[in-house]
Amino acid sequence: MKNNIFKTFINFTKNIKTTGAMFNSTKSVEKALCAKIDESTKIVVEFGTGYGNITQAILRRLPDDGKLYTFEVNEEFVETVKNTIQDPRLIVINDGAQNFENYVKEKVDCFISTIPFTLIPKEITIDIVTKSYAALNADRFFCKAQYSKLHLKKFKAIFDECTTTTVLDNLPPAHLYYCKKTAIPNKMKGIKKNRFRIAKAL
């Protein structure tokens, strides 16, 4: 989908409290965010569809028998994406990431998020991240792009391993997190209840 930069700028800026951005992510961010998707990836969940630029990058990498659920709170963005991306593997949902469990009943192989966690209340952030960890298959990743490293400690408290990288050719530069659920969870972090408590305390 060729998106009009001016239209994106106007609509992202108009909705800055939920978009947290003025421009689409760049191609470098798209590529880096999709790095953990391979032939064995069947179920992907995206948070923050926007105008669908990352959605399309995910679809390019997703196998033919894969499925992508994408969540977006802005109704206008949802309608645009539904009208412009026709792909039988894609399910576009006009609802918040915090409600993903109402729609996604399978275990997930990869989460891709560009929602602005810094603008979302802390309790909801922790709820989304904890539920995502629980829904993820072992040895799989929650990949996220953000403009700050705020919340990194929370992600580290919930996930078993987290690495970060910075993509400079984005405006502003984007911090990418790759947060992994390992097959044998880190014993120090223990059960889900403890993860929630640790993250909440940070």
Ligand X SMILES: C[S@@+](CC[C@H](N)C(=O)[O-])C[C@H]1O[C@@H](n2cnc3c(N)ncnc32)[C@H](O)[C@@H]1O
State which of residues 44, 50, 62, 178 lies at the interface with ligand X (CB under 6 A). 50
Which residues are registered as beta bridge partners of 174? 167
Choice between 54 and 92, CB closer to ligand X? 54
Site pattern 90..119 for ligand X (x: CB under 6 A): ------xxx---------------xxx---
Which of these, 181, 91, 98, 199, lies nearest to 136 by C-alpha position? 181
Which of these, 67, 58, 117, 123, lies nearest to 91 by C-alpha position? 67
Of 72-80, 131-139, 157-165, 186-194, which part binds ligand X (CB under 6 A)? 72-80
State which of residues 69, 71, 111, 141 lies at the interface with ligand X (CB under 6 A). 71
Choice between 19 and 132, CB closer to ligand X? 19
State which of residues 36, 57, 66, 74 lies at the interface with ligand X (CB under 6 A). 74
Q: Note whether 185 binds ligand X by CB under 6 A.
A: no
Which single residue brings its beta carbon nearest to ligand X?
50
Q: Note whether 54 binds ligand X by CB under 6 A.
A: yes
Least Å distance, CB 117 to ligand X, is 9
Question: Taking CB under 6 A as the criterion, which residues in 25-44 touch ligand X?
Answer: 25
Of 34-42, 65-73, 159-167, 177-185, which part binds ligand X (CB under 6 A)? 65-73
In the block, tokens 């991306």 appear at 85
Q: Note whether 170 binds ligand X by CB under 6 A.
A: no
Instruction: Report how far residue 51's alpha carbon sits from residue 35's, in angstroms, rounded to the nearest whole number.
Output: 20
Of 66-74, 134-142, 161-169, 191-199, which part binds ligand X (CB under 6 A)? 66-74
Which of these, 105, 98, 36, 121, lies nearest to 67 by C-alpha position? 105
Instruction: Report how far residue 93's alpha carbon sits from residue 111's, in angstroms, rounded to the nearest whole number.
Output: 15
Cβ-based neighbours of 36, under 8 Å, separated by 6 or more = 110, 140, 141, 143, 178
How are strands ordered across the β-sheet holding 136-146? 90-93, 67-71, 43-47, 108-113, 136-146, 174-181, 161-167
Q: Is the Cβ–Cβ distance between 97 and 113 less than 8 Å? A: yes
Q: Which residues bind ligand X (CB under 6 A)?
A: 18-21, 24-25, 47-50, 53-54, 71-74, 77, 96-98, 114-116, 120
